[in-house]
Amino acid sequence: MGEKIRIVHSADWHLGVMSGPRVANELPLMFKSVLDAANELANFVEENNVDLVILSGDILNRGNPAPLVLNSLSEILKKIIDTGAKVVFLIGNHEVPGWGEHPLKIYEILGIEDIIVADDATVYNLELKNTEMQIATIPYNTLHNIQFEDIVAELSKEINPLNPSILVTHIFVRNARLSGSDHKLSLYEYEPQTYPDIFLKLPFDYVALGHIHKYQKILARPIVIYPGSIQRMNFSEAMDEKGFIYAEFGWKKSRWNIEWRFQPVDTLRYRTIDIDIRYQENPTLIIMKKIESYKLLNEMVRIKITRTQRDLKPNIKVIRKRITDMGALYCKIDYNTVTETLERHADSKVGIEKGDSISRLHDYITKKRPDLIPEREELINVAKDILKSISRK
């Protein structure tokens, strides 16, 4: 019991997402970025003499992955076990195929002892640093016919409180904070779920969760953690930290103590630029000036353009080219087309109201009387004053 047991806990890589432009070696950007983060994890395992890597589900994005995806995963797993570490690989909902065996069955068939494919609710006893580490696993595929609370209660009976223990499961814990890519989970009535309080009654020292993409600690004792996804998947996760958990189990004062930390990895940088072009005579110029104030090198960029149906459309081709020339990895254009009302358009540089009368005056000057454009703002202000005085009467 003298040596500390070193553990890495990760989940939700979603290896196999092929979105984004193709980059080095013609690999899709998202696929390569997940591979890079996973290799960071593997390098950390080697550099820190990690004993056990726990993968809490959804490491693959599909239950029937392409050969490229499965081969890439195998390279990472081999890199990990070549360091002497063992791997517990839990089945998540994305690893469940539509029919037949799940893709991780291949490691079991090949008899790779250091990769434990956890596709059943059971307890594994692993010898680590001359200590028996108890790993209880509840994969996603076991949770649709039996309640989580019933399964975990049975597994808890097998746990020896004198030895360290970890519960590994892929489940939605109610009241967990969701990332943008998780928001639909709370709406799924059939989604297997539980509540934080259930873990207070269990004998486990550490609960290694998967499923939610936002890193967070659910409980401090026992330690219950979502490591979150290993890479930012879209713009809704732009502010989320991404990485994995590193934990050390040590025997101290007649009990097992755990010290842990979140280990960040390099992630894709997402940036959203909001631009309002309502009532602008040259919307392309307005957008170009706005984006010039940012440094977009190696960023995923989204331009959110607010306009009305009456406004001139910007030259998207020119805008995309400029953003690409500034070094952005990707550019997405979203329109927010608003309906004109009688409310004041507070953010407009022109400062006009959005009523039909004012809008028609604006359009008339722009399209029929371009000679009056230099005086347009003044004319609109006069019209506004007239409408205000009428409304007071």
pLDDT tens-place string over residues 303-327: 999 998 888 889 999 999 999 999 9
User: Both tokens of residue 51?
Assistant: 């004993």
Alpha-carbon 217 to chain mean position = 16
pLDDT tens-place string over residues 42-100: 999 999 999 999 999 999 999 999 999 999 999 999 999 999 999 999 999 999 887 77
Sign of the Cα torsion 165, 170, 172, 176 reads: positive
Q: What share of the chain in percent tops pLDDT 90?
A: 65
CA nearest neighbour of 329 among 304, 297, 287, 302: 297
Give the helix/strand (H/E) hosting 165: strand 165-170
SS3 call for 3: coil
State which amino acid sits at residue 305. I
pLDDT (0 to 100) of residue 349 = 41
Angle formed at CA 197 by CA 192 and CA 200, multiple of 5 degrees: 115
pLDDT band at 347 (very low <50, low <70, confident <90, very high): very low
CA 234 vs CA 19, 122, 231, 371: distances in Å: 10, 35, 9, 46
pLDDT (0 to 100) of residue 388 = 73
pLDDT band at 364 (very low <50, low <70, confident <90, very high): confident
| Confidence check: pLDDT of 332 > 80 | yes
Q: What is the dihedral of CA 114, 120, 123, 129, to 10 degrees?
A: 20
pLDDT (0 to 100) of residue 288 = 95
Most confidently modeled of 118-132, 181-195, 347-361? 118-132
Task: Work out the mean pLDDT of the chain and round it to a whole number.
Answer: 88
Partner residues linked to 196 by β-bridges:
none
pLDDT (0 to 100) of residue 373 = 76
User: Both tokens of residue 353?
Assistant: 């109201």
| Confidence check: pLDDT of 301 > 80 | yes
What is the number of other CB atoms lying within 10 angstroms of the CB of residue 137? 28
pLDDT tens-place string over residues 210-246: 999 999 999 999 999 999 999 998 898 999 999 999 9
Residue 157 carries which DSSP code?
T
Q: Are 261 and 241 within 8 A, CB to CB?
A: no
Partner residues linked to 38 by β-bridges:
none
pLDDT (0 to 100) of residue 380 = 82
Distance CA 365, CA 335 (A): 25
Choices 3.40.630.30, 3.40.50.80, 3.30.110.70, 3.60.21.10: CATH for 5-264: 3.60.21.10
Burial of 367 (0-12, 13-18, 19+ CB in 10 A): exposed
pLDDT (0 to 100) of residue 371 = 73
In this predicted structure, which of 125-134, 180-189, 295-304, 371-380 has the lowest mean pLDDT? 180-189
pLDDT band at 183 (very low <50, low <70, confident <90, very high): low
| Confidence check: pLDDT of 298 > 70 | yes
| Confidence check: pLDDT of 350 > 50 | no
Instruction: Give the E-state strand segments of 199-353 in sequence order.
Output: 206-210, 216-219, 223-226, 243-252, 255-264, 269-276, 299-308, 330-338
SS3 call for 257: strand
Domain segments of the chain as ranges:
5-264, 269-392
Q: In the predicted model, what is the mean pLDDT of residues 365-386? A: 78
| Confidence check: pLDDT of 209 > 90 | yes
pLDDT band at 343 (very low <50, low <70, confident <90, very high): very low
| Confidence check: pLDDT of 287 > 80 | yes
pLDDT tens-place string over residues 251-284: 887 788 999 999 999 999 999 999 999 888 899 9
